[in-house]
Chain A
Amino acid sequence: MIAVIDYGVGNLFSLVSSLRHIGQQVLVTGDPDALRQADRLILPGVGAFGDAAERLRRTGLGEAVRAEAGRGKPVLGICLGMQLLMSRSTEFGDHAGLDLIPGVVRALSETVDPALKIPHIGWNALTLTRPSALFRDVRDGDSVYFVHSFHGTQCGADTLALTEYSAPVTAAIGRDNVAGCQFHPEKSGRVGLSILKAFAETEETLC
């Protein structure tokens, strides 16, 4: 059973639908104890980093995610959920993340051509930077759906995939049993579903 962590940030309809579509049992929960019972955890999220990090702290969900990840449970962060797995973010201040994967979340506007539209919204192609169980069915050049204004930087060897938006932008990160996608697999057609399926099924280390 996959626990989708509900901490009041964003709409979980499509994510839950897509997991059910690929035959998974899903529990949407905001209860830290329930995360212990689940086989795998998904941390979704849209909105501001600081507010979301504070909610994770206040509810005890952040500590629970860290504890379960420490026990080797597979964890997948999506969009803001991916950013929250990282060390810290400079979005409107300086906020600590869950620090499961080293790196800093910064504004896209610091990196990309100022003439480009921000948020970065739409279908963009992936370049895989190293093989992983999570992306076992993904090929270089496959397109996925992005909606974001901030992105992960300084992820080093934990970078799983990049996309190009006048400059390389982190599309996915991962370390052992913890991974994150900046894009929305639940909105990325077949490619996205294949990623969720790999996350839900793989018995190997995620990345």
Chain B
Amino acid sequence: MIAKRIIPCLDVRDGRVVKGVNFAGLRDVSSPVALGAYYSEAGADELVFYDITASAEGRRLFTDILREVASTIFIPLTVGGGINTLDDFDRVLKCGADKVSVNSGAIRRPALIGEAAKRYGSQCVVLSADVKRVNGEFRVFARGGREDTGLEALSWIRRAVDDGAGEVVLNSIDTDGVKGGFDLDMLRAVSEMVSVPVIASGGAGRVSDFVTLFKTLPRVDAGLAASIFHFGEVRIDALKRALAAEGIPVRITSPRTEELPC
């Protein structure tokens, strides 16, 4: 039985984690390497790094940081942000990314998904979709949720999966930041339509939101969040224990007494 995944997401600008991070006991809270290690140790099943840098210099810094993170943390890493070409795929995969997430780049040039899947395999290609309700339909937004593309979300996601996207991160703009729970209706529509893993994003505020997500929508594979983990409002170890207590399959990483390599 595959474990449901809990995935913290880190936004990185010019090589530093942004969006306010607040941990007791962590010396450098904006270091992607330190935070990555913290989450890896805390039981995160995967890490997502989004590069929100605008400049070429910032992109180089991100790539260097990614290499450092990937050399010290041995769980799957997904990288997104600024992925527009196969060269971008190549750049981050060579630095230790396992999966590459595309969003605006694929909206601009949908062929990117098929080309990347052919070269690197579908398991490498993640479609990240920012979706909001507009006039009674689900609409895809680009450029970090600022621009209405006019694309209907379900047909866009179906097309991306048909072209070779091996996983879908569905970020509901409607619930993002509200902390009132995941967007179950939107997630149901997508998870019932595609056969690849679906990662829920946007709206988690507390432990029970994850329990409700996996109980209500057993086809959803993972829950992603940022600030509630960064601010310690939800602790990953406690979250995993709560999910396990509800009979939801999760990977428990209990501390051990014997000497271990890291």
Contact = CB atoms under 8 A, between A and B. Distances in A.
Interface of A: 11, 13-14, 17-18, 20-22, 46-47, 117, 119-125, 137, 143, 145, 147, 164-165, 186-190, 192-194, 196-197
Interface stretch (B26-34, B89-97, B206-214): B89-97
Nearest to A124: B2
Contact of A164 (B1, B70, B251): B1
Interface of B: 1-3, 5, 40, 45, 70-72, 74-76, 93-96, 98, 121, 123, 166, 195-197, 221, 251-253, 256, 258, 260-262
B151 to A, nearest CB: 25
Contacts of A124: 1-3
5 contacts: A165-B1, A187-B74, A193-B74, A194-B260, A197-B261
A92 B260 CA distance: 41
Contacts of B40: 189
B95 A123 contact: no
Contacts of A22: 261-262
B95 A120 contact: no
Contacts of A11: 93-94
Given A17-B96, A164-B1, A123 B261 contact: no
Given A17-B96, A143-B3, A121 B261 contact: no
Contacts of B45: 123
With most chain A CB atoms within 10 A of its CB, the pick from B1, B94, B95, B166 is: B1
Nearest to A192: B74
Nearest to A46: B121
Nearest to B194: A117
Contacts of A188: 74-75
Contacts of A21: 71-72, 74, 261-262
Contacts of B166: 119, 121
A11 B76 CA distance: 13
Given A145-B75, A188-B74, A189-B40, 5 more contacts: A21-B71, A21-B262, A120-B2, A165-B1, A189-B74
Contacts of A120: 2
Contacts of B96: 13-14, 17
A123 B252 CA distance: 10
